Amino acid sequence: MRLEGKVALISGGARGMGAAEARLFASEGAKVVIGDLLEDEGRQTEAQINEAGGECLFIRLDVTSESNWQDVVATTVARFGKLDILVNNAGIFRTERVEDTSEQSWDQVMDVNAKGVFLGTKAAIPEMRKVGGGSIVNISSIAGLVGSPYSSAYNASKGAVRLLTKSTAIQYAREGIRANSVHPGVIETEMTREVVNDEAFRQFRLVTNPIPRLGQPEDVAYGVLFLASDEASFMTGSELVIDGGWTAQ
Ligand code: NDP
């Protein structure tokens, strides 16, 4: 199994891509902690993984709170003995052009998407150091690579994740701690339900995406699994784009 003996913490793991990653990690032998604001969905995902024979623990986590992160990392280590893998996956999306973005909305998006990744990384590194290394996988977006006609703070936050990943990679490589970013295209989850259900949008993407379909959470989960595993032991500071070819055009 590709994550045998590893302990992983996935933020925003109650549903969507984070839940798909949690299921895949558990099926590959990892003990998985999912941290999320959504308690009902989190407990459902936890139960589903445990019933399937995996080992999973849900803990309530608000990624914008440093003390919450410290508690969740401490609980992970108390329960499973260590921390090898952190997936900073929690995020929120806003379709607001620059002039439509309030200061409050900007701060909220930056807090969850950018500060949340910083705080998670900061909390995890001391535990990874204790076991001689680890893997941090930060979920950015194609919105962290190219601009968008309809979102602003979201792009800024995902661009911040991309470069925080590279700084983390450089600062901790000598301690065996790797950090890589993942850049999904449009993936069918609750976050994108509204746009994906818009028939005009759907048809536009199907016609213009080189691979003519929308992404599924599992498409991203397999990339995250690879980066989390020792198979990627020579990869740090890199960007894995999973977008059906959208940004290659
Ligand atoms: P979902 O909304 O399905 O899942 C995100 C999860 O993060 C939700 O459970 C959400 O809970 C949780 N979350 C939000 N804020 C916080 C917080 N402060 N603390 C803890 N958990 C929180 O989205 P996806 O699975 O689609 O997205 C996962 C990641 O992938 C995000 O970072 C997103 O930006 C990124 N991404 C998504 C793409 C897509 O097309 N779906 C494309 C590219 C990147 P709640 O509902 O309470 O907010």
> Catalytic one among 150, 154, 172, 222?
154
**pLDDT at residue 24, as a whole number:** 98
**pLDDT at residue 65, as a whole number:** 98
Report the pLDDT averaged over residues 232-245.
98
pLDDT tens string 118-136:
999 999 999 999 999 999 9
Q: Is 64 in the pocket of ligand 1 (CB under 6 A)?
A: yes
Grade residue 53 by pLDDT with cuts at 50, 70 and 90. very high
Mutate to test the pocket of ligand 1, among 21, 36, 246 (most ligand atoms within 8 A of CB): 36
Q: Is 16 in the pocket of ligand 1 (CB under 6 A)?
A: yes
Distance 149 CA to ligand 1 centre (A): 21
Grade residue 217 by pLDDT with cuts at 50, 70 and 90. very high
Closest ligand 1 atom, CA of 154? 34
- Three-state secondary structure of the chain: CCCCCCEEEEECCCCHHHHHHHHHHHHCCCEEEEEECCHHHHHHHHHHHHHCCCEEEEEECCCCCHHHHHHHHHHHHHHHCCCCEEEECCCCCCCCCHHHCCHHHHHHHHHHHHHHHHHHHHHHHHHHHHCCCEEEEEECCHHHCCCCCCCCHHHHHHHHHHHHHHHHHHHHHHHCEEEEEEEECCECCHHHHHHHHCHHHHHHHHHHCCCCCCECHHHHHHHHHHHHCHHHCCCCCCEEEECCCHHHC
Q: Is 196 in the pocket of ligand 1 (CB under 6 A)?
A: no
Mean pLDDT estimate for the chain? 98
Distance 209 CA to ligand 1 centre (A): 23
**pLDDT at residue 13, as a whole number:** 98
Domain ranges of the chain: 7-187+216-242
Distance CA 224, CA 85 (A): 11
Q: Which residue's CA is the nearest one to ligand 1's atom 2?
A: 191
Q: Which residue's CA is the nearest one to ligand 1's atom 19?
A: 62
**pLDDT at residue 101, as a whole number:** 98
Closest ligand 1 atom, CA of 185? 42
Q: Is 184 in the pocket of ligand 1 (CB under 6 A)?
A: yes
Report the pLDDT averaged over residues 87-106.
98
Structure tokens at 208: 């213009």
Report the pLDDT averaged over residues 170-193.
98
Does the global pTM surpass 0.95? yes
Mutate to test the pocket of ligand 1, among 23, 189, 190, 196 (most ligand atoms within 8 A of CB): 189
- Of the options 3.90.550.10, 3.40.50.720, 3.40.50.620, 3.40.640.10, the CATH number for the domain spanning 7-187+216-242: 3.40.50.720
Active site residue 150: no
Q: Is 72 in the pocket of ligand 1 (CB under 6 A)?
A: no
Grade residue 41 by pLDDT with cuts at 50, 70 and 90. very high
Closest ligand 1 atom, CA of 62? 19
